[in-house]
Chain A
Amino acid sequence: MAQLVVPRERARRFAPWSVVGWLTILLMGLTMFGAFIYAPTDRFQGIAQRIFYIHVPSAWLAYLAVFVVFIASILYLVRRSGFWDRVALSSAELGVVFTTLALVTGSLWGRQVWGAWWVWDARLTTTLVLWLIYVGYLMLRSTMGDSPRTARFAAIVGIIGFIDVPIIHQSVNWWRTQHPTPIVVTPGENPALPPSMLLVLIVAVIAFSALYFWLLNARYRLETQRERIAELRRELQGAADV
């Protein structure tokens, strides 16, 4: 009986997430179609400009992921709820994945347009700092073990680390940089992108956002399993003591 009940419960619990999963696949497919077929080739940058359709959404997800770490860390410190700690940890891991992708795809684009894989430009350097902060966050979590003290320390790192995001965003305005200034979201001005390129970029951002939430759910489930294991170990210890 129990064997019959578990799959049904699982199916009901995971159904909305499987919809998000299929939607992500569909939107990623649309993004690939848009990036390679629908969008025109840039006259100056050539076909390497198409890297833009994965570089910008990766950078957007890096921002989103660390913003979620920031909010979840504040809520953890206020409420001391394990739920927010697990959300922060899951999102931090995704933040590192997408910051890595933003750095790597940016480097490949830079090789074509600037003739260099890397320049110590303010935007690139502050993004690298973000990557190092969240790699440090994950290292802290893995070396200090699971305890409320670790969660508190991690929450503080998660909050302080987020300060780098507005610096990254404003770096192209505050300093003279090689990195292009914003051409999509510019206050008081229309986007400087042709409509067909803008449409592909919007689809790509939605697709990557759906991917983020799908991965966040999957990563969060790992943390709940780890919590369950810790609980079972405590119960086993209690049973052994009796």
Chain B
Amino acid sequence: MFDNPGFWLLFAAYTILWLVIGGYVFTLNRRQRDLEREVESLSQQLRRSTE
């Protein structure tokens, strides 16, 4: 099975699929967290400036 060149191509295709999807979800999550932090920080600044 491992000697079959098709096996490694198949393995590479599915590995790349999951790495790309997983990587994309990870970056979406990180960007979302960063933006939430920024919203929180700006909201605090706004509250302070209106007090």
* Interface, chain A (partner B; CB < 8 A): 32, 45-48, 50-51, 54-55, 58, 97, 100-101, 104-105, 108-109, 111-112, 211, 215, 218-219, 221-222, 225-226, 228-229, 232-233, 235-236, 239-240
Between A and B, 15 residue pairs with Cβ closer than 8 Å are A48-B6, A50-B10, A58-B17, A101-B20, A104-B13, A105-B13, A109-B9, A109-B13, A112-B6, A211-B21, A229-B38, A229-B42, A236-B45, A236-B46, A236-B49
Beyond A51-B9, A222-B31, A222-B32, is A46–B17 a contact (Cβ under 8 Å)?
A: no
Main SS at interface, chain A: helix
New A-B pairs, 10, CB < 8 Å, besides A47-B6, A104-B13, A233-B42:
A51-B9, A55-B13, A105-B17, A109-B13, A112-B5, A215-B28, A222-B31, A232-B39, A232-B42, A239-B46
- Indicate if the CB atoms of B42 and A101 lie closer than 8 Å: no
Q: Could you tell me how many residues of chain B have their Cβ less than 8 Å away from some Cβ of chain A?
A: 28
A221 and chain B: residue at smallest CB distance: B32
CA distance A77 to B40 in the complex (A): 33
Chain B 2-45 residues near chain A, CB threshold 8 A = 4-7, 9-10, 12-14, 16-17, 20-21, 24-25, 28, 31-32, 35-36, 38-39, 42-43, 45
CA distance A3 to B24 in the complex (A): 30
CA distance A50 to B1 in the complex (A): 14
Beyond A50-B10, A236-B49, is A222–B35 a contact (Cβ under 8 Å)?
A: yes
Which chain A residues lie closer than 8 Å to B28 at the CB level? Answer: 215, 218-219, 222
- Indicate if the CB atoms of B9 and A226 lie closer than 8 Å: no
CA distance A108 to B13 in the complex (A): 7
CA distance A100 to B20 in the complex (A): 9
Which chain A residues lie closer than 8 Å to B49 at the CB level? Answer: 236, 239-240
- Indicate if the CB atoms of B4 and A225 lie closer than 8 Å: no
